[in-house]
């Protein structure tokens, strides 16, 4: 299709005497892609895989963590460390940061031979899978073992042998350790030396998890060996997030692109939500992208607000899309009750409307208990809020549910259910008639 070449017939200014024609071939190219770096200096610095040079606002935890790693430099048996805290609070970043320093600093001591094996357990569900991965990470390409077919005990044998062959200090980091369903490896690794499985290698295990119930459910014997040193990473407050965003913003954006209120606002939202640095950095990037799409050269508070709505919409949509059909019907019932001014409402008062909607959708309604499970799931997703009520001596406690999200946001993800059940009066003002076939459609909420 291109380049498109066309011939221009250009009459020279001197053509009066007998005239001559110059044929000029122009090459006209349509430009589809053009650099638009006016906003970003380095947008990649806002991505998940970016490792900052310094960590900000984590001094206390880093000090504890550093002290727990100190035996490595002293040539002693390393501690087993268990790191826990909610998602996005810097557990992985702190580990990578400290271990890269530890490696560099250990290199200055001739008598320290340090190896670090970093394994993310996402996608690995058993001790067997972890153990084979570890064996293979210690072996050359030519000597890899198959990831199935050995008894677990033989894989451990190989692991101890390979670890002893490597020798020195070996730190094994198991990030997102809660994906592993059985705790055999969590017991075996930290205790390998004490159990006489290892002779030369000094091994230390660093386990990382954001799942608090995982930690609470560890068996006492695993807990005592794995959690020799426990380090808790608390959620960030607005001030911490501000420092993190400022550091990241300096790398990612050109000078004077961020207006003054952008970072404080991203930080305030982040602290209100979950104190999650990842979420705050994502919001800053979304605001930057919106400004870039608009071809403006300044990111404003308005971009942040719109960015937040867009991200929240994405999150809620994802959550709602993942629900079953009955989950959608329960949510539709609660949504309309909420709009009718009935919320907070007990499960038994959601039931008649849910049952009605299920019938309209030609589905058999679930039994009350199952319906309640769906309400709990909605609460877990943050779409619905739950409050415990106490009826005094006679009634005991019960739960009440209310919507905890923008109606428009929820409706935008519920099109199919509304079409299936029909438009309830309470949402009529959110729904407009489709010009083409008269059937109801939701207003377009996808615009940011
Ligand atoms: N103190 C900090 N200073 C600078 N950047 C930080 C800090 N804490 C977190 N970050 C950044 O925030 C993002 C999330 O951090 P990280 O991946 O370490 O979270 P996590 O605690 O491991 O979360 P998860 O449990 O979900 O794995 C990363 O981009 C990281 O670089
Ligand atoms: Mg992590």
Length of the chain: 448
Question: What's the pLDDT tens digit per position in 87-116?
Answer: 999 999 999 999 999 999 999 999 999 999
CATH number of 59-232: 3.40.50.300
Q: Indicate if the pLDDT at residue 333 is higher than 60.
A: yes
Closest CA to 289 of 46, 51, 52, 88: 46
| Cβ of residue 235 lying under 6 Å from some atom of ligand 1 | no
- 10, pLDDT greater than 50: no
Q: What is the pLDDT of residue 46?
A: 97
**Exposure string over 9-38, b if 16+ CB within 10 A, otherwise e:** eeeeeeeeeeeeeeeeeeeeeeeeeeeeee
Domain with CATH 3.40.50.300 in the chain: 59-232
Query: Rounded to the nearest whole angstrom, what is the distance from the C-alpha of residue 98 to the centroid of ligand 2?
Result: 14
Query: Mapping DSSP to helix (H, G, I), strand (E, B) and coil, where does residue 399 land?
Result: strand
Q: Atom 10, ligand 1: which residue's CA is nearest?
A: 90
244: Cα separation from own chain's centroid: 17
CA of 281 to the centre of ligand 1 (A): 10
46 lines ligand 1 (CB under 6 A): no
Rounded to the nearest whole angstrom, what is the distance from the C-alpha of residue 35 to the centroid of ligand 1? 30
Task: Find the helix or strand (DSSP H, E) in which 9 lies.
Answer: strand 4-11
> Is the preceding peptide bond at 344 cis, omega within 30 degrees of 0?
yes
pLDDT at 122 over 50: yes
Exposed, middle or buried, 188 (CB in 10 Å: 0-12/13-18/19+)? Answer: buried
Helices 238-252 and 262-273: crossing angle in degrees, nearest 10, is 130
The architecture (CATH level 2) of 238-314 comes to: Orthogonal Bundle (1.10)
Write the pLDDT tens digit of every residue in 282-332.
999 999 999 999 999 999 999 999 999 889 888 888 889 899 999 999 999
* Residue 38 confidence class, pLDDT cut points 50, 70, 90: confident
Mean pLDDT of 425-432: 87
Assign 27 a pLDDT band (cuts: 50, 70, 90). Answer: low
- Supply the residue whose CA is at minimum distance from atom 6 of ligand 1: 90
CB of 92 sitting under 6 A from ligand 1: yes
Fold of 322-442: Arc Repressor Mutant, subunit A (1.10.10)
Question: What are the distances in angstroms from CA 250 to CA 21, 167, 253, 315, 410?
Answer: 58, 42, 6, 27, 36
Give the pLDDT score at 188: 92
What pLDDT digit, counting tens, does each position of 193-212 carry?
Answer: 888 999 999 999 999 999 88
45-78 residue pLDDT tens: 999 999 999 999 899 999 999 999 999 999 999 9
89 close to ligand 1 (CB < 6 Angstrom): yes
pLDDT of res. 22: 55
Query: Which residues have CB atoms below 5 A from the ion given as ligand 2?
Result: 92
pTM above 0.75, yes or no: yes
Nearest CA-CA partner of 292 in 28, 40, 16, 19: 40
Query: CATH 1.10.10.10 residue ranges in the chain?
Result: 322-442
- Cβ(253)–Cβ(41) under 8 Å? yes
- In the chain, list all ranges with CATH 1.10.8.60: 238-314
203 pocket-lining for ligand 1 (C-beta < 6 Å): no
Ligand 1 center to residue 65 CA distance, Å? 15
| Mutation pick for ligand 1 pocket among 89, 121, 174 (CB with most ligand atoms within 8 Å) | 89
């Amino acid at each position: 299709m291109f380049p498109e070449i066309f011939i221009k017939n250009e009459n020279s200014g001197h053509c009066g005497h007998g005239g001559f024609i110059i044929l000029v071939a122009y090459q006209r190219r349509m430009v589809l892609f053009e650099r638009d770096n006016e906003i970003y200096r380095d947008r990649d610095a806002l991505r998940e895989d970016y490792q900052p040079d310094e960590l900000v606002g984590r001094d206390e935890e880093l000090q504890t963590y550093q002290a727990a790693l100190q035996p490595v430099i002293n040539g002693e048996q390393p501690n087993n460390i268990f790191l826990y805290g909610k998602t996005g609070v810097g557990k992985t970043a702190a580990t990578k940061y400290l271990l890269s320093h530890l490696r560099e600093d250990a290199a200055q001591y001739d008598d320290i031979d340090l190896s670090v094996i970093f394994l993310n357990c996402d996608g690995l569900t058993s001790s067997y899978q972890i153990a084979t991965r570890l064996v293979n990470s210690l072996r050359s390409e030519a000597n890899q073992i198959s990831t199935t077919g050995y008894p677990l005990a033989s894989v451990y044998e190989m692991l101890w042998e390979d670890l002893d062959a490597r020798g020195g200090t070996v730190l094994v980091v198991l990030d997102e350790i809660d994906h592993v369903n059985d705790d055999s490896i969590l017991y075996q690794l930290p205790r390998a030396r004490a159990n006489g499985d290892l002779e030369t290698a000094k091994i230390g295990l660093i386990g990382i998890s954001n799942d608090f119930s995982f930690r609470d459910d560890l068996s006492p014997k695993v807990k005592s060996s794995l959690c020799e040193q426990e380090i808790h990473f608390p959620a960030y407050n607005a001030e911490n997030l501000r420092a993190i965003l400022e550091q990241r913003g300096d790398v990612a954006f050109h000078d004077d692109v961020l207006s003054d209120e952008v970072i404080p606002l991203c930080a305030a939202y982040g602290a209100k939500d979950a104190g999650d640095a990842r979420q705050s950095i994502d919001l800053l990037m979304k605001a930057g992208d919106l400004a870039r799409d608009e071809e403006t050269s300044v990111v404003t508070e308005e971009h942040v607000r719109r960015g937040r709505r867009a991200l929240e919409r994405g999150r809620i949509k994802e959550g709602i899309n993942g629900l079953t059909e009955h989950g959608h019907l329960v949510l539709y019932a609660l949504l309309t009750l909420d709009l009718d001014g009935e919320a907070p409402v007990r499960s038994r008062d959601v039931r008649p409307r849910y049952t009605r909607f299920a019938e309209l959708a030609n589905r058999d309604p679930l039994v009350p208990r199952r319906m309640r499970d769906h309400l709990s799931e909605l609460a877990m997703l943050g779409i619905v809020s739950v409050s415990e009520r106490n009826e005094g001596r006679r009634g005991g406690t019960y739960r009440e549910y209310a919507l905890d999200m923008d109606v428009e946001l929820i409706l935008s993800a519920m099109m199919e259910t509304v079409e299936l059940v029909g438009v309830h009066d309470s949402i009529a003002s959110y729904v407009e008639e489709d010009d083409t076939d008269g059937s109801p459609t939701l207003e377009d909420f996808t615009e940011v």
